[in-house]
């Protein structure tokens, strides 16, 4: 699905990683690990096509990512640090706008998806009246509507309570079990019922320094 060859990136004259090679197949879950400042978010943004300050090759289904941009954007869901919602809009309005922006027609599923994130009764509440955890749930709800095969998630557990963390871990496992793929960063000790592969940027930095 996603193949990375000889990826190199530096920031502020410091090499974050080099000679980075890996391949993500359907049904695989990957965690990018590393200390603060090791380049986890940078790597994720590079993989999503949001950062072009690198050398190397990124292929999507065997085609150079830049040349497969339309298919890549359709099949990938990216969640960054920020909730990526309009707080002046309601939860339902945010998800309706998201579906329209991606040309999705499954708007009849919005209420069901919100319910699955324990937002029953909050559909018509402006997001600015919600807690940080509820706002995160609205943002995550886009994930289920996206119909994307590959989920790229940057610290997705931020602001979630214990129950929310458990529920998200189940969703991630189910996505992988049904053939979807995941690449995520998190400081949370994952308890997924699914094999997890990892990329340790601290170890790569050690190799660079050596």
Residues 17-74 pLDDT 10s = 899 999 999 999 999 999 998 999 999 999 999 999 999 999 999 999 999 999 999 9
Closest to 129 measured CA to CA, from 156, 91, 94: 91
Highest mean pLDDT, choosing among 24-33, 104-113, 196-205: 24-33
Report the number of distinct structural domains present in the chain.
1
Can you give the pTM of this predicted structure?
Answer: 0.92
pLDDT at position 210 over 50: no
Domain that holds residue 64: 2-209
One DSSP character per residue, 111-176 reads HHHHHHTT-TT-TTSBGGGS-HHHHHHHHHHHHHHS--SEEEEESTTTT--HHHHHHHHHHHHHHH
Share of the chain above pLDDT 70, in %: 97
The CATH number of the domain holding residue 40 is 3.40.50.300
pLDDT for residue 180: 97
CA distance 25 to 3: 9
């Amino acid at each position: 699905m996603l193949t990375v060859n000889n990826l190199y990136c530096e920031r502020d004259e410091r090499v974050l990683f080099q000679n980075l090679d890996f391949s993500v197949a359907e049904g695989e879950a990957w965690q990018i690990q590393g200390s603060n400042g090791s380049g986890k978010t940078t790597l994720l943004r590079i993989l999503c096509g949001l950062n072009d300050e690198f050398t190397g090759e990124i292929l999507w289904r065997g085609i150079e990512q830049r040349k497969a941009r339309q298919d890549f954007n359709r099949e990938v869901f990216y969640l960054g640090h920020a909730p990526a919602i309009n707080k002046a809009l309601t939860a339902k309005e945010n998800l309706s706008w998201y579906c329209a922006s991606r040309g999705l027609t499954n708007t009849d599923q919005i209420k069901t998806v919100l319910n699955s994130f324990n937002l029953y009764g909050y559909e018509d509440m402006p997001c600015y009246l919600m807690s940080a955890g509820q706002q995160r749930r609205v943002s995550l709800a886009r994930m289920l509507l996206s119909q994307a095969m590959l989920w790229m998630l940057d610290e997705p557990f931020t602001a979630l309570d214990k129950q929310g963390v458990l529920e998200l871990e189940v969703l991630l496992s189910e996505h992988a079990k049904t053939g979807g793929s995941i690449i995520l960063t998190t400081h949370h000790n994952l308890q997924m019922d699914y094999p997890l592969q990892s990329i340790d940027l601290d170890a790569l930095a050690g190799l660079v320094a050596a």
